[in-house]
Amino acid sequence: MTFRRALHFPHLKPALFYGLGGGLLIALLRYIEYQHFVRAYPNELYGGMLALIFTVIGIHLGLRWTRRQEVAPEPRPFATNPEAIREIGITPRELEILGLIAEGLSNREIGERLFVSENTVKTHSSRVFEKLGVNRRVQAAQKGKDLGLIP
């Protein structure tokens, strides 16, 4: 309710996972090496295996980490205007500001149109962003349309 800014590292777990996995792999490779592999085969095999394995791991890491960046799909099969509005708890005034944001107006222009100060507009827009779970006005506009809050 207050701070969802709390320390939260979405990439920490995968990093730990891959780090530990990599460590285990290295340990395994070392074990194999000391058994006889490196003695029996040239070092190029060892390096090649390492390269291959870690290339794959790197690709995996890259894919996984960029997938996190994608905006949440947010399926909304049932909710339309009134239900979504009530569900999110957005107030009429905030809805008004959201509509003007989606029209591409600046905070100053919104304030002039609604006869309030720019600071007030910023307060409203901040609350809108909070309730929509976004932090940029383009995202707010998009999400507002997706949810049927605004035309």
* Site map 65..94 versus DNA, x via CB under 7 A: ------------------------x-xxxx
Kindly state whether residue 58 participates in binding a copy of itself, applying the rule CB under 8 A: yes
How many CA atoms are closer than 13 Å to the CA of 67, on its beta-carbon side?
7
Q: What are the two backbone dihedrals, phi and then psi, of residue 79, each rounded to the nearest 5 degrees?
A: -70, 125
- Which is closer to DNA, CB of 30 or CB of 108? 108
Least distance (Å) between residue 123 CB and DNA: 4
Of 5, 36, 39, 67, the one binding DNA (CB under 7 A) is 5
- Which is closer to a copy of itself, CB of 20 or CB of 86? 20
Of 38, 61, 84, 114, the one binding DNA (CB under 7 A) is 114
79, 149 Cβ separation under 8 angstroms: no
Q: Which stretch binds a copy of itself (CB under 8 A): 46-54, 75-83, 88-96, 118-126?
A: 46-54
Residue 97 CA to residue 121 CA, distance in Å, equals 7
Helix (H, G, I), strand (E, B) or coil at 11: coil
Report how far Cα 92 is from the mean position of its chain's Cα atoms: 28
Residue 129 CA to residue 106 CA, distance in Å, equals 15
Kindly state whether residue 106 participates in binding DNA, applying the rule CB under 7 A: yes
Burial class (CB in 10 A: 0-12, 13-18, 19+), 104: exposed
Kindly state whether residue 82 participates in binding a copy of itself, applying the rule CB under 8 A: no
Q: Kindly list the residues in this chain that would bind DNA in the complex (CB under 7 A).
A: 1-5, 7-9, 89, 91-94, 106-108, 111, 114, 116-117, 119-120, 122-126, 129-130, 135-137
